[in-house]
Chain A
């Protein structure tokens, strides 16, 4: 059965590469999710927008706890409480990189 993995991305210098890692597991046939937290993303370029599209195409999702990222970049809104509940359902949880 495909594993469920969630990347948590809190540091601006690590977020875009974290999305790439998230996509890397999606292409390995895992349910791969990412959550952008505690930061407002700079406008995404086409490469990173495509990465998010690919994650979604492979039944993953990219969420954000920050409303501006949902409004500006189309990320799926999630609250901290909802994220906690979602993490309970994950096989692997990846607090990616480091705190800013």
Chain B
């Protein structure tokens, strides 16, 4: 299963822990929305390629 973790803000320690558990043994990638100019084209490609997307706070 391909998991995409999207971060709307910098991940807290709790979020990092949950991501670690949810992603274990799975193909995981991440995308940081917390930048000045996110590459939305790339983000959508990643979302479409993933089996599940989690948009963390």
Contact = CB atoms under 8 A, between A and B. Distances in A.
Query: So, do A and B actually touch in the complex, CB under 8 Å?
Result: yes
Contacts of A97: 57
A92 B55 CA distance: 11
A99 B34 CA distance: 13
| Contact-size category for A | 10 to 19
A85 B18 CA distance: 8
Nearest to B12: A99
A92 B37 CA distance: 27
B14 A80 contact: yes
A95 B55 contact: yes
A37 interface: yes
Given A84-B22, A87-B22, A88-B22, A99 B57 contact: yes
Interface of B: 8-9, 12, 14, 17-18, 20-22, 24, 52, 54-57
Interface of A: 10, 37-38, 80-81, 83-85, 87-88, 91-93, 95, 97-99
